[in-house]
Amino acid sequence: MEIHPIAVFRSPFKSKFGVPRQSGLVEDLQGRIVLLDAYADSESLRGLDDFDYLWLLWGFSANRHQSATFQPTVRPPRLGGNERMGVFATRSPYRPNGLGLSSVRILAVEGTEIVVAGADLMDGTPIYDIKPYIPFADCHPDACGGWIEDAPWHELDVDFPEQLQAEVPAGKLPGLTEVLRQDPRRAGSKHEPTRVYHLAYAGLDVAFTVDGDTLHVVCVS
C-alpha cells in the first residue's frame, strides 16, 4: 500500500535529540501541523476545533538504519536499553512499517494549520493522517500499561541559572525546562559529568552537563 504525506509538522526540535519519547510527556511543548498544498483546504478541518485532542499518524523519518530483515524484538530506552521486548509490545520507531501514533492537544485551528501541544514529533516530520480523538472509543481509563507502567521513569533535577533563562523567549521556557527534566540523553548513558551536550531547541543552542541526577545548563546561545 502506497501512502502519501498530507501534512508536515513544525516543531522547536530541528533534530531528534531531545524530542520527548512519548506524546503528552511535555504538555507545554507547542507545535504546528501544516497541511500540504494538495490538501490545504480549510474545509477538511471543519468541526475539528470542537475536539480537545487529535491523533497523528506519522512517519519515523529520522530513522537512519532501518533493518532490511524483520527484527522481532527491540530494547526500549525506558528499560535502560538492555532488556528486550517484542516490537509489537513497544512504541519503538524500529518496526516493520515506520508509522508513529501520537495524540496531541488541539490549541487552535487556524485556516489550514493546527496549533497543538504535547507532541513527540521533530520538525519536518511527514504526517499521513489526522483523526479526531473520540473518548468513547479511544479512552480506557482502567487499562493496564504493561511493562511500561512497571518501569519507573527517571527524571532529572534541572539547574538552570536565571541569567541563562533570560536568553530563552518566555513562551518557550516551560517546554524547554520540561524537555531537560526528561533527560534527552541516550538510554543507559554513562556517568560523564564533564561531557557537554548540545540541544537544538527553537533556534537556540542549549549546552548542558549531567552529574548524577542533576542537569546543569551551562550556556544558551
Residue type present at position 181: R
**Run of H or E residues at 159:** strand 157-159
Closest listed residue to residue 159, CA positions, set 179, 174, 181, 141: 181
Of these, 80, 81, 134, 157, which contacts a copy of itself (CB under 8 A)? 134
Closest listed residue to residue 212, CA positions, set 195, 197, 192, 186: 192
| The three cell numbers locating residue 183 | 533527560
DSSP helix/strand/coil, 122 = coil
Q: CB of residue 162 vs a copy of itself: minimum separation in angstroms?
A: 32
Say which DSSP state 75 is in.
-
Q: Is 57 in the site for a copy of itself (CB under 8 A)?
A: yes
11 vs 103 by CB, closer to a copy of itself: 103
Q: What is the CA radius of gyration of the chain?
A: 18
Binding mask 160-199 for a copy of itself (x = CB under 8 A): ----------------------------------------
Of these, 27, 28, 123, 129, which contacts a copy of itself (CB under 8 A)? 129
First to last CA, the chain: 45
Residues sharing a CB contact under 8 Å with residue 206, sequence separation 6 or more, in sequence order:
176, 180, 198, 199, 200, 217, 219, 220
The answer to whether the beta carbons of residues 53 and 133 sit under 8 Å apart is: yes
Q: Is 39 in the site for a copy of itself (CB under 8 A)?
A: yes
Of these, 64, 136, 191, 194, which contacts a copy of itself (CB under 8 A)? 136
| The three cell numbers locating residue 86 | 517484542
Binding mask 85-124 for a copy of itself (x = CB under 8 A): xxxxxxx---xxxxx-xxx---------------------
Of these, 126, 172, 211, 218, which contacts a copy of itself (CB under 8 A)? 126
| The three cell numbers locating residue 152 | 519507573
Q: CB of residue 83 vs a copy of itself: minimum separation in angstroms?
A: 9
Q: Is 37 in the site for a copy of itself (CB under 8 A)?
A: no
In angstroms, how far is CA 155 from the centroid of its own chain? 16
41 vs 157 by CB, closer to a copy of itself: 41
Q: CB of residue 34 vs a copy of itself: minimum separation in angstroms?
A: 13
Binding site for a copy of itself (CB under 8 A): 1-6, 22-25, 38-39, 41, 43-48, 50-55, 57, 59, 70, 72-73, 84-91, 95-99, 101-103, 126, 128-149
